[in-house]
Amino acid sequence: MPLLVVGSIALDSVHTPQAEHEDLLGGSAVYFSYAASFFTPVQLVGAVGEDWPAEHTELLRTRQIDTSGMQVVPGEATFRWRGRYEVDMNQRETLEVQLNVLDRFDPVLSESAQRCPFIFLANGAPRLQRRVLDQVRGSRLVVADTMDLWIRTTHDDLLELLKRIDGLVLNDSEAKLLTGEENLVRAGHQVRQMGPKFVVIKKGEHGAMFFSEYETYVLPAYPTEQVVDPTGAGDSFAGGMMGYLAEQERFDAESLKKAMAYGILAASFTVEDFSLNRLRQIDRNDLDLRLERYRQMLRFDGQ
């Protein structure tokens, strides 16, 4: 079933203790789309500038990603993000953000995008995320991501958005910031009480927690020795999760748990190289092989 994502399309510059790379293909909607494309056709909506390399669009098209909703805006430059990781790869510092084309981006959805049943509002200003929701018709599942910047600067807009979505995905530090609650279990349920039916708290190398009215659980990250660049892990997580749900055309408790597992596995591949380089080397079979190892890892009591 088609899946719509609206979010940033970026040129990222990433510094790690081992290497530095400039103008890498990135952005929340790009990582999301690529990870989701292992499961389902994706419609990507976003904006880039004149400086956007056409080969990046070609790469996305080689997957089942419909890029017709990507606007190339004349006279503008693409959104740029620069970040640095410490030796402890869980610590990231944003060095620079150039909004450029995103400053005035006003998403206008095509007829087919408006009718997508599964929708992901990737990291972006809540006002813009709500603009998307104003246009969709007949959606079955709407999930959003957010970040500390929006919690701090557009708090009321974000609270309005939370009342209109089914699920929210956010980081542990962001859940604490949004609720003022240090205990993550309490924070997860408090976010849920702000509107969404379920909340996923991402905890980096410690996996992800799930909260609904009936369930609270945690799934560990897939243990990988090779952590080269964690950029996009959260967006790939969301892509794997939503991609699987759209493929299954359902989001009952069992499907959501397996979707969380696929999200964790998609993220585990993303961190093994810069940009989309590792995801480009794999196919659905690699995700399924890793799922089997993950399942064995979690099995105990002979079950």
| Separation CA 16–CA 4 (nearest Å) | 32
For residues 186 to 225, the per-residue mask of contacts with ligand AMP, x marking binding by CB under 6 A and - elsewhere, is ----------------------------------------
| Closer CB to ligand AMP, 23 or 286, in the complex | 23
Q: Which stretch binds ligand AMP (CB under 6 A): 189-197, 231-239, 241-249, 258-266?
A: 231-239
| Closer CB to ligand AMP, 1 or 184, in the complex | 184
Least CB distance from residue 121 to ligand AMP, whole Å?
A: 11
- Binder to ligand AMP among 27, 46, 107, 239 (CB under 6 A)? 27
Residues between 82 and 101 with contacts to ligand AMP, criterion CB under 6 A: 97
**Interaction between residue 49 and ligand AMP (CB under 6 A):** no
What is the token pair recorded at 150?
């929006």
For residues 116 to 155, the per-residue mask of contacts with ligand AMP, x marking binding by CB under 6 A and - elsewhere, is -------xx------------------------x------
**Interaction between residue 46 and ligand AMP (CB under 6 A):** no
What is the token pair recorded at 49?
């500038």
**Interaction between residue 232 and ligand AMP (CB under 6 A):** yes
| Closer CB to ligand AMP, 57 or 216, in the complex | 57
Least CB distance from residue 24 to ligand AMP, whole Å?
A: 8
Contacts with 111 (C-beta within 8 Å, 6 or more apart), sequence order: none
- Contact residues for ligand AMP (CB under 6 A)? 8, 10, 12, 26-28, 81, 97, 123-124, 149, 231-235
